[in-house]
């Protein structure tokens, strides 16, 4: 006879405030086969686990039900506790009386009643549990990093440092990402390129790191330890291994109308180009939209001047297939489109720019060679006005509900740099709040105010318009309770940042969940911040949420540590809750094969002894290493041959019966 | 008659159809307001004073008649607070407190011409007739 123990957790007051735990224990004691029931304040604590272990030994329990939080939280904890006491870990069932009960009910009577029902269902299920043994699967000791910005580069370098191979897939023609576009970095004002480009070179030189630039992930299959990835290497029309990056083609190219994306479209570039001087790889790429040869068949100048013979107008996209053990998402961000905010005249006035555009206008390698000039007439501005929170903390539908986190600091940086280099320029900053949590951040902002005389005005701007060749800013000073009309030469919009538009597509390929803002969701916001709930998928950088460079680099290292922890294992324990077929019932119809998302189902011709009748039949065979236990086959099977271990049809019916009892 | 500021503020909030607590005090409403200098209390103050229940001063202020109802604040508010609707609710409250019917059906034929949309009559009666 089965001997079941029921353990009811208070979870401090999380459960006990809404569920009468004494009543759940009393109710448990009268359930069939329950020989022991007890409650405790924190069942997951060492003392709580001790109660479970002692009860297993003392009462010779054959099954355990823990009424506590979600199994996603502590199922593993309690399985391990049972295992330590000599019980098969799969003889443990969790009744979720926190997330599914106490947290969503206010009335204690109702909550208690529901907790009792959930407990009853779990007891009914555990009576039909069978001991299971986890299988093993291999681990491909190579990682894939999607995105080649500072997040992706740092993650890859840290993984490579531990001795594992790692590939970076970057959709643009060079690695470096957003950080490569920045001029200086806060709060130290060191040059962005000076600290980033050595890392880019390191990534290219590291023999463990392989770069796939101008490439995108096409499809992802498999599961943790065994991902199968197809990468589309887009045609550059330039042979990557032959091009020397001399730039002769760029100088001769007659088509110079392409917008320079690296300079935020502030100037033009030829149809054949290297994104910027320190690009990695330092290889040209042809923009097929702009190339005269590719569009009309006439021209071919670049081919003529290329002494290395690297130009190949016939190059095709190439599909590369690779196996990986772990995948890191580092897809980064983009600024939102400022033209949605008509009142700031971004689309109509060239002297209204975004902060990222200002970075390029102040960068020595930018369109003005680092001299700050008004985009409209290339003259020196005398007054610059910054507007904070453009599209951040905005629930009107035009912006983003969150704080973009980096804008307060980069604006202080911009203001300071301008005042330092051009003391004759007056700088105003309209702010709602100045948010500076971070080491040396507030001190940095105060320097802007106290040392550099930047005029911070508490209040927002209502509109910006052009009048008599200059810009007019109409704003409010909430401290003085006055409306301000300011004449200014340039306006800089601190636009909100949003996840890169590819994040959603990549996340769905990886089955990684995303939130309403398209940021990738963590497995646990506090305790597992760099892992996706999908096993083997890790998060690095702004794809998880707005963050600055120091935070991104820390998170990149953390994600790398998690990847290394995974790749260091030779075998992974697989989930034993997999499906299997009853060969006597299987009619070989192939329904299950069609719905299996993991390709885990195949067919074999087998000699079946069906009640004395021997015949060869085509029956379903499940590859237990591939099966993820989703259960799709069990519901689609017309003859009821498919069943899931640990979640059998019989068990689910028993739970339903117990709930309805 | 007993006057309860909090209760009146709640009534104003309900009438306005918006939630002034969503305000993050950025002042973009006042920054956008073309009547700012005409007003003793500015749009952002209307919002915060209604939240605080400090409405007696608003009801007595001439500011309520200075709002042009241009809706620039409504269009630009990043939090969807709709300050113009709050000011309008204060304005309507003062009219209702006077206890008289401001608009009599008898007056209508004299003031109506074919330029006035029917909807204006409907809303006028909703607002100004008890």
What is the rounded CA–CA span in Å between residue A188 and residue A416? 12
**Residue range A517-565, pLDDT digits in tens:** 999 999 989 989 999 988 899 999 999 999 999 999 999 999 999 999 9
For A70, residues 6+ apart whose C-beta sits below 8 A from its C-beta are: A94, A96, A98, A99, A100
- Residue A165 φ/ψ, nearest 5 degrees: -75, 145
Per-residue pLDDT averaged across A422-432, rounded?
A: 97
A168 assigned to some structural domain: yes
Q: Same domain, yes or no, for A86 and A56?
A: yes
Q: Of the candidates A89, A114, A81, A88, which has an alpha carbon nearest to the alpha carbon of residue A15? A: A114
Give the number of other Cβ atoms within 10 Å of residue A397's Cβ.
Answer: 9
- Nearest C-alpha in B relative to A460: B28
Distance of residue B93 Cα from the nearest chain A Cα, in angstroms: 25
**Which of B24, B28, B79 lies closest to A462 in CB terms?**
B28
Q: Which of A498, A523, A551 is the last residue of a domain?
A: A498
Inter-helix orientation angle B43-52/B83-97, to 10° = 60
| CA B87 – CA B76 distance, rounded (Å) | 16
Residue B32 with chain A: CB contacts under 8 Å: 343, 462-463, 474
C-beta atoms of B76 and A394 within 8 A: no
Residues 6+ apart with CB under 8 A from A451: none
Count Cβ neighbours within 10 Å for each residue of A430-443 and write b for 16 or more, e otherwise.
bbbebbbebeebbe
- Number of residues assigned to chain B: 130
Q: Which residue has the tokens 């309805």?
A: A660
Residues of A in contact with B48 (CB under 8 A): none
Whether residue A325 sits in one domain with residue A283: no
Going through A120-259 in order, the beta strands assigned E by DSSP cover 136-138, 142-146, 165-169, 184-185, 190-191, 209-212, 215-223, 226-233, 258-259
pLDDT of residue B63: 95
In order of A48, A130, B1, the CA distances from A62 in angstroms are 19, 10, 75
Please state the ipTM of this predicted complex: 0.83
- Does a cis peptide bond (omega within 30 degrees of 0) precede residue A35? no
Subunit contact A394:B72, Cβ cutoff 8 A: no
Residue A196 inside a domain? The answer is yes
Please tell me if residue A472 touches chain B, with a CB cutoff of 8 Å. no
Q: What does chain A come to in residues?
A: 661
**Does residue A572 belong to any structural domain of this protein?**
no
- Judge if B66 and B39 occupy the same domain: yes
Residue A463, strand partner residues: A474
Q: Are residues B23 and B57 in the same domain?
A: yes
Q: CB-based contact (8 Å) between A393 and chain B? A: yes
- Collapse the DSSP code of B3 into the 3-class scheme (helix H, G, I; strand E, B; otherwise coil) and give the result: coil
Q: Is residue A45 part of a domain?
A: yes
Q: Residue B114 sits in which domain range?
A: 103-130
Whole-Å CA distances, B114 to A267, A604, B117, B121, B125: 55, 84, 8, 12, 18
Contact A399 B26 (CB under 8 A): no
Q: At what angle do helices B43-52 and B5-16 cross, to 10 degrees?
A: 120
pLDDT digits (tens, 9 = 90+) for B94-117: 888 876 666 778 888 887 888 888
Q: Angle, nearest 10°, between helix axes A192-205 and A150-161?
A: 40
- Going residue by residue through chain B (130 aa), what tens digit of pLDDT does each one get? 567 899 999 999 999 999 999 999 999 999 999 999 999 999 999 999 999 999 999 999 999 999 999 999 999 999 999 999 999 999 989 888 876 666 778 888 887 888 888 888 887 777 766 5
In sequence order, the β-bridge partners of residue A63 are A4
**Residue A606 to residue B72: CA distance in whole angstroms:** 77
Query: Could you tell me if B57 and B116 lie in one domain?
Result: no
Residue A58: closest CA among A85, A91, A94, A89: A85
Tell me, yes or no, whether A449 and A538 share the same domain: no
A299 in the same domain as A253? yes
Asked if A389 has any chain B CB less than 8 Å from its own CB, the reply is yes
Q: Which residues from chain B sit within 8 angstroms of residue A481, using beta carbons?
A: 42, 45
Count of domains forming chain B: 2
Same domain, A486 and A456: yes
B interface test, pick of A476, A480, A491 with most B CB neighbours within 10 Å? A476
Q: At what angle do helices A108-126 and A21-29 cross, to 10 degrees?
A: 30
Task: Establish if A136 belongs to a structural domain.
Answer: no
Q: What is the DSSP string of A490-504?
A: EEEEEE-EEE-THHH
Q: What is the mean pLDDT of chain A?
A: 95
Q: For residue B129, what pLDDT is reported?
A: 65
Q: Both B61 and B118 in a single domain?
A: no
Residue A443's H or E segment, with its range, is helix A441-450
Tell whether B77 and B115 lie within a shared domain.
no
Closest CA to A332 of A474, A178, A471, A531: A178
Dist. CA A183–CA A191, nearest whole Å: 6
By three-state DSSP, how is residue A459 classified?
A: coil
Same domain, B119 and B57: no
Determine, for residues B26 and A462 on separate chains, whether the beta-carbon distance falls below 8 Å: no
| Domain-embedded: residue A134 | no
Which of A539, A567, A595 is the C-terminal boundary of a domain? A567
Tell me the β-bridge partners of A152. none
Is residue A595 in a domain? yes
In this structure, are A43 and A112 located in the same domain? Answer: yes
Q: How far is CA A317 from the centre of its chain?
A: 27
Mind listing the pLDDT tens digit for each residue in A3-55?
A: 999 999 999 999 999 999 999 999 999 999 999 999 999 999 999 999 999 99
Q: How far is A455 from chain B (nearest CA, A)?
A: 17
d(CA A66, CA A123): 10
**Whether residues B75 and B109 fall in one domain:** no
- Spatial separation of the C-alpha atoms in residues A70 and A72, rounded to whole Å: 5
Using the structure block, give the residue that is written with the tokens 């089965």: A2
**pLDDT, tens digit, 9 for 90 and up, residues A337-358:** 999 999 999 999 999 999 999 9
What are residue B82's DSSP bridge partners? none
Looking at residue B130, its pLDDT comes to 56
Using H for helix, E for strand and C for coil, what is the string for A279-321?
Answer: CCCCCCEECCCCCHHHHHCCCCHHHHHCCCCCECCCCCCEEEE
Whether B88 and B119 share a structural domain: no
| Residues A345 and A464 occupy one common structural domain | yes
Residue A135 lies in a domain: no
User: Average pLDDT for residues A102-117, to the nearest whole number?
Assistant: 96
Residue listed under structure tokens 């002494």: A307
| Distance between B7 CA and the closest CA of chain A, angstroms | 27
Burial class (CB in 10 A: 0-12, 13-18, 19+), B2: exposed
What pLDDT shows up at residue B100?
A: 64
Return left, alpha or beta for A632; rule: phi > 0 is left, psi -120 to 50 is alpha, else beta: alpha
Beta bridge partners of A482: A477
The reported pLDDT for the residue numbered B101 is: 65
Is the same domain home to A326 and A189?
Answer: yes
CA distance B113 to chain A (A): 36
Which A-chain residues 476-495 have CB contacts (< 8 A) with chain B?
476, 478, 481, 483
Average pLDDT for A177-181: 97
Is there a single domain that holds both residue B85 and residue B109?
no
**CATH code for position A120:** 3.40.50
Tokens representing A394 are: 């905005």
Check whether residue A29 and residue A173 sit in a common domain: no
| Domain stops at, among A523, A541, A567 | A567
Kindly state whether residues A95 and A189 are assigned to the same domain: no
Q: What is d(CA A580, CA B96) in angstroms, rounded to the nearest whole number?
A: 74
Same domain, A40 and A103: yes
Q: How far is C-alpha A164 from the geometric centre of its chain's CA atoms?
A: 22
Strand pairing of A482-488 and A34-40?
unpaired
DSSP result, A154-187: HHHHHHHHTT-EEEEE-SSSSS-TGGGG-SEETT
What CATH number is attached to the domain comprising A178? 3.50.50.60
Distance, in angstroms, between B31 CA and closest chain A CA?
A: 4
Number of domains, chain A: 5
Whether residues B89 and B108 share a domain: the answer is no
Candidate from A393, A461, A463 with C-beta closest to B24: A393
Contacts A472 to B, Cβ<8 Å: none
Q: Which domain holds residue A347?
A: 335-498
Looking at chain A, the whole-number percentage of residues with pLDDT higher than 90 is 93
Kindly state whether residues B27 and B76 are assigned to the same domain. yes
Residue A430 distance to chain B (closest CA, Å): 10
Confidence of residue A467 (pLDDT cuts 50, 70, 90): very high
Considering the domain architecture, whether residues B107 and B48 belong to the same structural domain is answered as no
Residues of B in contact with A495 (CB under 8 A): none
Mean pLDDT on A424-436: 97
Average pLDDT over residues A634-645: 94
Residues A328 and A342 in one domain: no
d(CA A462, CA A449): 23
């Amino acid at each position: 006879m089965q001997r079941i123990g029921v353990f009811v957790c208070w979870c401090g007051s999380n459960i006990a405030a809404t569920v009468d735990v004494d009543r759940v224990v009393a109710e448990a004691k009268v359930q069939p086969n329950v020989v022991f029931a007890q409650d405790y304040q924190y069942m997951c604590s060492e003392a709580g686990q001790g109660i479970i272990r002692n009860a297993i030994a003392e009462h010779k329990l054959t099954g355990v039900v823990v009424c506590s939080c979600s199994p996603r939280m502590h199922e593993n904890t309690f399985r391990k506790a049972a295992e330590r006491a000599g019980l098969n870990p799969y003889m443990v069932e969790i009744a979720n009386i926190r997330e599914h009960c106490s947290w969503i009910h206010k009335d204690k009577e109702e909550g208690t009643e529901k907790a009792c029902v959930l407990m009853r269902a779990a007891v009914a299920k555990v009576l039909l549990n069978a001991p299971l043994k986890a299988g093993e699967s291999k681990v491909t000791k190579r990682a894939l990093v999607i995105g080649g910005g500072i997040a992706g580069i740092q993650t890859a370098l840290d993984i490579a440092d531990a001795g594992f191979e790692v590939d970076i897939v970057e959709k643009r023609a060079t690695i470096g990402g957003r950080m490569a576009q920045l001029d200086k970095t806060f709060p130290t004002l060191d040059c962005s390129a000076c600290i980033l480009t050595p890392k880019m070179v390191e990534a290219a030189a590291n023999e463990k790191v392989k770069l796939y630039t101008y490439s995108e992930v096409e499809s992802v299959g498999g599961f943790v330890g065994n991902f199968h990835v197809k990468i589309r290497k887009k045609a550059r029309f330039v042979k990557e291994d032959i091009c020397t990056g001399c730039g002769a083609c760029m100088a001769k190219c007659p088509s110079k109308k392409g917008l320079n994306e690296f300079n935020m479209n502030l100037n033009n570039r030829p149809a054949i180009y290297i994104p910027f001087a320190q690009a990695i790889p330092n290889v040209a790429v042809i923009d097929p939209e702009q190339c005269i040869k590719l569009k009309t068949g006439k021209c071919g100048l670049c081919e003529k001047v290329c002494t290395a013979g690297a130009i190949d107008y016939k190059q095709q996209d190439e599909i590369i297939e690779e196996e990986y053990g772990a995948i890191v998402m580092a897809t980064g961000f983009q600024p939102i489109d400022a033209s949605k905010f008509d009142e700031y005249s971004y689309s109509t006035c060239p002297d209204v720019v975004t902060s990222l555009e200002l970075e390029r206008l102040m960068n020595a390698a930018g369109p003005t060679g680092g001299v700050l000039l008004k985009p409209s007439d290339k003259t020196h501005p005398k007054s610059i006005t910054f507007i904070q929170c453009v599209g951040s903390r905005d629930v009107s539908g035009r912006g983003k509900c969150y704080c973009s986190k980096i804008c307060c600091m980069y604006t202080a940086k911009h203001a300071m740099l301008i005042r330092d280099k051009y003391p004759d320029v007056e700088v105003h900053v309209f702010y709602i709040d100045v948010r500076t949590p971070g080491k040396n951040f507030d001190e940095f902002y105060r320097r802007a105010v106290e040392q550099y005389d930047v005029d911070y005005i508490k209040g927002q701007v209502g509109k910006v318009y052009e009048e008599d060749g200059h810009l007019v800013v109409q704003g409010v000073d909430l401290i003085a309770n006055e409306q301000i009309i300011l004449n200014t030469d340039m306006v800089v919009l601190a636009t909100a940042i949003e996840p890169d538009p590819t994040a959603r597509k990549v996340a769905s390929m990886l089955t990684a969940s995303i939130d309403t803002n398209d940021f990738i969701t963590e497995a646990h916001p506090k305790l597992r911040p760099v892992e996706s709930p999908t096993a083997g998928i890790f998060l690095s950088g702004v794809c998880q949420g707005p963050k600055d460079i120091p935070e991104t680099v820390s998170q990149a290292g953390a994600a790398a540590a998690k990847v290394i922890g995974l790749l260091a294992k030779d075998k992974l324990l697989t989930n034993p809750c997999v499906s299997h077929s009853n060969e006597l019932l299987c009619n070989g119809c192939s329904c299950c094969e069609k719905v299996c998302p993991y390709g885990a189902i195949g067919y074999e011709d087998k000699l079946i002894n069906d009640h004395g009748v021997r015949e060869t039949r085509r029956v379903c065979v499940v590859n237990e290493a591939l099966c993820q236990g989703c259960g799709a086959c069990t519901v689609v099977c017309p003859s009821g041959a498919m069943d899931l271990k640990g979640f059998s049809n019989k068990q689910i019916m028993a739970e339903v019966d117990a709930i309805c009892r | 008659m007993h006057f309860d500021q909090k209760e009146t503020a709640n009534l104003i909030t309900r009438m306005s159809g918006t939630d002034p607590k969503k305000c993050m005090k950025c002042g973009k409403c006042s920054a956008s307001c073309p009547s700012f200098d005409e007003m003793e209390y500015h749009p952002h103050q209307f919002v915060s004073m209604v939240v605080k229940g400090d409405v007696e001063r608003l009801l007595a202020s001439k500011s309520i008649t200075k709002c042009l109802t241009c809706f620039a604040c409504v269009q630009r508010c990043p939090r969807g607070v709709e300050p113009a609707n709050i000011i309008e609710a204060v304005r309507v409250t003062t009219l209702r407190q006077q206890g008289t019917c401001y608009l009599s059906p008898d007056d209508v034929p004299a003031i109506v011409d074919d330029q006035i949309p029917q909807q204006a009559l409907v809303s006028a009666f909703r607002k100004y007739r008890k």
